[in-house]
Structure 1
Amino acid sequence: MNNNNFRKSGLAIAMAAAMGASTGASAAVEVYNQDGTSFSVDGYFNAFYVNRDDKLADTRNSDVKMGFLPNTIGFNFSKEVGDLTMGGRSSFWSTINDSLQSPTDTAIDVRQLYATVDGSFGQVLIGKDFGLYARSNIFLDEILMGFGSPGAPTGVSFGNIRTGYPYPNPSAQITYRTPDMGGLKVAAGIFEPANTTPGAQSEQSAPRLEAEVTYSADLSGVALTGWLNGRSQKSENATTSVDSTGLGYGVRASVAGFSLTASGFTSEGDVPVLISDTAAPLAEEDADGYLVQGSYTLGANRFVLSYGETDSDQADFETENTSVAVFHNVNSSFKLVAEYNMFEQRTKSTGADAADIDTIALGAIVTF
């Protein structure tokens, strides 16, 4: 059975990368597999005790929240039809952080709803999935299954979004992926463009373009992974034109339990958090950032040190984020996490401190 759907889903990549190849990340539970047709279900559940010291507000709060990855359940199907394999995935992402604000109305969003066609030519994906720009930057983040920097009060924490990389937000797309060519993989697609120039005669006459190239190899026992990704789009109205471009990159090297990852991005005309429709026209100003991480795996434990920065003229901020974390695998489906995070943000135009927050997060994760 040539079932590529779960393997290529965002959650599967995230889990495999964060748990490490040696731990054997949980696969989906196969519900049906007969006569070339299969159906499976996967899930990710987590909760953290969070103690946050906001030094500027002079407050300390305790919360029970989810981590950087929301609680998720996904459904995958695959069907062989001649030389082709038809597939698809739908995943539902839910917060637990709104339990007092919306006691019986938990927010649910669908970040993946797509079909795939696989063959000797590679794969074509149609529907909604994570973007290609900054995709490997975030999916290979060592603290992806941790907590990270503060986020929205009733939403997820931000991990290293805006402190090392932007978010590859799920978008409507038509994307082509090549077969694995000796470790080299290429993906390119057209995406729904964002309206970054609202106003009279606003238009986006061409789709947003995104692409990613990845390469993996083993050199004398050293596992290497490198990537380069980017996006480009144009939006204009009667008086303004904004070209939004971004370039992401990174490399990871792993040997004998040690792993070192360095990644970064640079962009213009794009707020370095996520791309979306805007209330007012954006300016074509710059942003850049980087993330450096080291980890060591010893038995069932993985120790992580992470540091990232982002400098944005567009959003008028400078940020830095430091995380120290320990991940302990109780078994292949159950993980415990302890993390200490230090986040700082300054307003570039004034130099004033905008945030200075230390966070302790103790969590548990169950996957299937």
Structure 2
Amino acid sequence: MNNNKLAKRMFVPLALATAVAAVSQTASAEIVLYDNDDTTFSTDGYINAFYVNSKVDRAGDNFDRRQSRVKMGFLPNYIGFNMGKQAGDLKLGARASFWVTINDSDDNGTGTDIDVRQFYGTVGSDWGEVLIGKDFGLFARSNIFLDELLTSYGQVSDTLGLVDGGGVSFGNIGTGYPYPFPNAQITYRSPVMNGFRIAAGILDPSDTTTRKDAAGNDLGKSYQKNPRFESEVTYQVELGETKIYSWVNGMHQTSSNTDRSDIAGDDQSSKLRSKGVGYGVQVKHGGMSLTASGFKAKGINGLFTNNPGKANLRDIDSRGYLLQGSYKFGANRIALSTGRTRDDGNVLGNAAHYKTRGAAYFRTINDNLTLVAEYNQFDIDGRKGNSAMDEKTRTMALGAVLTW
């Protein structure tokens, strides 16, 4: 399979499908717009832009080039609104956040996209909190929220359509963890008990058993008897001046298809059980921070925890890890990162290793403005002799992040 066909197998424009979590390592504070009668309303936001220069080296000569862009970083631009109200013994809350790409479309002119990544309400008390609505999933959640390069740039794979795409970069998505897609959910979170906190929820399930005939026509209907189940357990402790935060999260879902016919020469399944586990630990002491995380999954896409575009997933494995360290001194922070995902074929249809290495420098100007410089190396190594998938992309990014 050549590189053109590999790129065409991507089931959605990836650059438009990868907004990341609303958690930033940049200092910021919400602006309170109203605070009266036990009711609050506030806003927060994030704006960033990078000049990036990527050198692409793929199998053959049709894709090799050096590309300059002005784009967002790993964390997209957004504006968020928050509401809180004390109603007797219950604490009511809500959040809506709107995520915006700064790159218009080459095809549609002013085709800037606006996405609602969060739109939920919460009900809390001494017994914990229940969230209803749309929010990021629990599986792989802390893996990405605690990424040391969250407010930087990260990897842009040409094979995945990111170098020329109009949206965000991928950061470490696909090279250490899958992205916990925002999803409709009902989730319970316990109070923090001796450092432990438990979250468990039911999420809107994904179609993973789309079956097609040789002409590309759909066969049967995908369905799920049960919702997707996701959970996360976190533990935090302070030992003197050392702070430790650790987590384990997971998901489970079964999807079926009404079509039961045999499809000659195809490995499409009429039933697929998807499951995964994520884990990690972050240790902070003084200005130093060390983070190690990983995941292992079966029957999911190595890039996403749901299944955008209803790709035909298979009962095969993906696994990955991410190792990072950073040091903060004065207004400066330096971060190093290396990660890898080994996918047995759900991402592009063929087994491959996806690897990235990055070094970033952050300079805090004030509580609302940070300057960022990063160098990133991204590789795809086709396994089982499939060198047509190979890619090496090197990216330099210089940008600024504004928060409130």
TM-score normalised per structure 2: 0.84
Tell me if 1:202 matches 2:222: yes
- Give the counterpart of 1:297 among 317, 328, 338: 328
Spell out, residue by residue over 1:223-271, the C-alpha distance to the aligned partner (whole angstroms, 9 max, x if none): 1010000000000113311000010000011112111110000000111
Per the alignment, residue 263 of structure 1 pairs with 293
Once residues 283 and 10 of structure 1 are traced to their aligned partners in structure 2, the CA distance between those partners, rounded to angstroms, is 27
Per the alignment, residue 3 of structure 1 pairs with none
Runs (5+) with no aligned partner, structure 2: 1-19, 211-218, 261-269
Per the alignment, residue 4 of structure 1 pairs with none
Q: What is the CA distance between 1:101 and its match in structure 2?
A: 4.5
Partner-residue secondary structure (3-state), 2:363: strand
Spell out, residue by residue over 1:262-304, the C-alpha distance to the aligned partner (whole angstroms, 9 max, x if none): 0000000111111225545321100100000011101111100
- Aligned runs of 1:1-368 on 2, under 5 Å? 10-11=21-22, 14-15=23-24, 18-19=25-26, 25-56=27-58, 57-98=63-104, 100-150=106-156, 152=162, 153-198=165-210, 199-237=219-257, 238-239=259-260, 240-274=270-304, 275-277=306-308, 279-315=310-346, 316-352=351-387, 353-368=389-404
**Alignment: residue pair count:** 351
Q: What is the CA distance between 1:319 and its match in structure 2?
A: 0.8
Once residues 281 and 75 of structure 2 are traced to their aligned partners in structure 1, the CA distance between those partners, rounded to angstroms, is 22
Partner-residue secondary structure (3-state), 1:55: strand
TM-score normalised per structure 1: 0.92
Per the alignment, residue 5 of structure 1 pairs with none
Say if 1:279 and 1:344 are closer, same or farther in 2 by CA, change over 3 A: same
Q: What is the CA distance between 1:180 and its match in structure 2?
A: 1.3
Once residues 214 and 233 of structure 1 are traced to their aligned partners in structure 2, the CA distance between those partners, rounded to angstroms, is 22
* Residues 195 and 278, structure 1, Cα contact 8 Å, conserved in 2: no
Match for 1:336: what amino acid? Answer: L
Runs (5+) with no aligned partner, structure 1: 1-8, 20-24
Q: What is the CA distance between 1:100 and its match in structure 2?
A: 4.4
Q: What is the CA distance between 1:346 and its match in structure 2?
A: 2.0
Q: What is the CA distance between 1:85 and its match in structure 2?
A: 1.1
Match for 1:276: what amino acid? Answer: N
Once residues 30 and 146 of structure 1 are traced to their aligned partners in structure 2, the CA distance between those partners, rounded to angstroms, is 27
Larger RCO, structure (CA 8 Å, separation 6 or more)? 2
- Structure 1 window deviating more from structure 2 (275-284 vs 139-148): it is 275-284
Match for 1:33: what amino acid? Answer: D
